[in-house]
Every structure is written in C-alpha cells, then in structure tokens.
Amino acid sequence: MTVLLFILISLCLAIECQKNEYKYDENTCIACPEECASGKCKEKVGCTQCNDGFYIDELGGCLPCADGCKTCDSKKCLSCVDLYYMKASGCYSGGDNCTAVQDNVGCTKCQTGYYLSSGVCTYAGEGCKTYSDNVGCTQVKEVNKYYIYGGQAIACDPACITCDEFSGCTKCKDGYYNYNHGCAVCHKTCSTCENSTSCVNCQDGLIKNNTGLCMGCDPNCEESCKSPSMCNKCKTGYFAFEGKCYLCDPRCATEKCNEDGCKECQDGYFVYHGRCEKKPYQCQPSKYSKSTGCSECNDGYYVVDGMCVACDPNCQPGHCNGTTGACDLCATGYRSYGQKECIEGTVYGDNTNIYRCDDKFFIDKDDGTCAKCSTYCTEGQCDNALGCSQCQPGFYVTKDGRCSSCPYFCDLCHEELGCLECTEGSYQFEGRCVFSGAISVLGMLFTFIVFFAF
C-alpha cells in the first residue's frame, strides 16, 4: 500500500516539458538549441542533429561551422554550401560572378559578360562582343567606339577621332594629343599640339616661342609680332626696344618719340637706350651731349654708357682710369684686387710679385695675393709667407695654410692621417670618432648577430 502511494505521488509531481524542450532529469526541462533539427532533441541527451551550418558540441548544443560549410564536425567541413568548393578540409568561395565550382579547383564558370582568369571571374567590358577564358575580350561590339586593353573592352576617349580596336586612340580632335591610349588636353594656348608642353599650332592671335608654347604679342604692339618677343611696331606713345614695347619717357622732347624710342630729350637729360636719363653732375661741362651723354667725367669717376660711375673710394686721386675705372695705385693700407677694387692690406713688392703681407694676412699660393688668416688659426700662429701653422682644437692645417674643420667628435686631426684624438665620451671606431652611445648600440647589434649566427 505504501509503495503504491509513493508511485502515485511521484507521478503527480513529475513535470511535463514543452514542445521545444527536453527533460534533463525528473524535475528539469532545458530548451532545445534553435539550430537543432526538428524532432532531434533527446531526453537527458539534448540535440542529436543540428541544422545545416552547425555541429553538435559535447554538451548537446549546436555551434556554427566555418564560413561556407554546409555540414561539419568540430574539426573540419564535411560539405560546402552552393558556390563554395572543398579544399584541404575547408570551404572557399568561388568569388563574385561565379556560377559553378569544383572541389580542389575553384570556380569553373562565370556569369555572362565575365571570363575566367587565374580562377577569378573578370569583367570583359560593356563593349565586348566575344571573349574566352584566360584570354579576355577578343572582339568588340563596335569598332571605333571600343578598344581592347588588358583583356577588357574599354570605351574610346570622347575626344578621339580614330580608335583602333587593339591599340586605342590613334588620332585626337584639335586641342588634344594622344596619351595613354586616349586623348589629353593641349596647353590652353595651343590649337593643336604634340604633347602638354609643345604646340604645333597656336590659338588665334598667339605666336609659338622657342620652348614650344604659344604666347601673345606685347599688348602695346600695333602690328603682328614676328615672335612673342619681337614686336615690329608699337602703338603711339610707345617705342620698341629688344622686341618689346615701352612707354615713351615723359622727359622726351615733344614729338621726338617713335618706334625706336626717344630721339631727343628735354634740357638736362640725354638719350639712353630710347629713354631719358638725367645729366650726370660729375660730368665735365664740355664733355656732355644731349644725344650720347657724358664722354668724360670728373676725377674719381669713369664713363659707362654716358653715365658717371664712382671709382673705388680707396683709389689714390688721379689714379683711376676715366674710361675703364681701373685703379693703378691704391691708398696707403690698401692694395689692388682685380682691376677696379682696392682692398685692405699693404703690398710689399708690386701687384704681381708680393713677397710679404700685413699682419694677419699671408700670401695665397694660388694667385700670389694677400689672403686673410683663418679665423680658427691659433693666435700668433699665422706666418706672413706660409699662412697658419697651428689651428684651434677641432680644426686642422690644410696644405694651403688655412684651417678646416675636423670630423664630428674629433678634437685633433690631420689632413692626411685623419682623426688623432677624439673628444671626451667618444672613441675611435673604424678610423673615425663616434659617440660612446653609438658604440653601445653597435655592440648590441654585433652581439645580436653573433648570437643568432651560432
């Protein structure tokens, strides 16, 4: 009686699971995984079969397969979804525009308008009529409208007049030139051209210059130019000089300016390259002309194109040539340098045979003149005849008696022997001085190389 009562009580207390659940034990219901196949949840076990694209885990649940897998286990794909192919236990897409695949091969067929090239579907082009795998487009729909390049039918450039089926544009409209199978715009000054920098013909009113581009005449040119820089005749009030038009000088005498410039200037001015220049006050009164300017200047000046130019201020009075400006005798404490200049320094001997120079100067072996001692020469170590014999730290004496800088981190060096003494914190390394930090880095690098080499 007691046993029967216990059975009846147990039956009353036993729970019933819902349709999408399974009984884990007498008192527990667990929901079946959503990915579990219909009717494949088993009591106390869980899911026994998952939908495509999932596999059963150790706890009776469903986990997703890798991309492209239709069926799989925990380690590999067993079959692939449409347009994926099996290779090395994995599923791979046949790619865009693929319509058929083969396991271990890949895409084997493409949709219309595409061809196979190295396993990839490639567009043959809107203008392609026929094409084949691994070749591409072989014939265009319309000649002179499309051309084949890289296996694809490409539209001809809109500026193209003649378009070859296999090489692209061969002739462009005026204002364009052939470039990269198509047409590119000429420079804005060209009506026709060979390339971006060379015109064949110019736009109306323009003339080609010697660089190949087109330029306009001077806006004040009355007649057409022979070239952009050569006006034949200028407008009234302008004159031509070296092919360009210049405004007549307001100091020009009335009605004395024509296409060649000013022919006669007002009083106090003279003609200079078609314009009027003021009479130089340094000119000898009897040596001045309104047409040519000054022909002889006062002492201390010399003539250049009718103008008076000052001689070197350190030239002795009466020793400056009034025609060339050359000084044949400089003031005390100065010496000749070239023809027109006087520079600081005493000449011992004549200007071409100097045997000694002033203090802090020495004889330059190249031209025999007096050169200033180097700023970096040790005080008192510059010989009048030989130049510097000892330079400051960080510099060395060159063969011509000057001071030149030592390499980085070097305190004492020689022109031929190189660095002899490095600065503090630097070391000799392969014939030069390097900072100790650089040695550390090189040492670490060397240790690294040796370690991995052995």
pLDDT digits (tens, 9 = 90+) for 211-249: 888 887 778 887 666 665 677 777 877 877 777 788 888
Helix (H, G, I), strand (E, B) or coil at 300: coil
Over residues 316-373, the pLDDT tens digits come to 999 999 999 998 888 877 777 667 888 776 555 554 555 567 778 887 777 767 788 8
pLDDT for the residue 267: 86
| Nearest one of 293, 332, 336, 334 to 321, comparing CA atoms | 336
Predicted confidence at residue 410, as pLDDT, reads: 86
pLDDT at 441 (0 to 100): 43
pLDDT for residue 442: 45
By DSSP bridging, strand 214-216 and strand 206-208 are antiparallel
> Where are any strands of DSSP class E within 39-175?
41-42, 46-47, 54-56, 62-64, 69-72, 77-80, 84-87, 90-93, 98-102, 106-110, 114-117, 120-123, 128-132, 136-140, 146-149, 152-155, 160-164, 168-172
Contact 327, 320 (CB under 8 A): yes
- Residue 225: per-residue pLDDT: 66
Q: For residue 394, what pLDDT is reported?
A: 86
> Could you say which DSSP state residue 438 is in?
H
DSSP 436: H
Q: Which residues of the chain have pLDDT under 50?
A: 1, 3-12, 351, 438-454
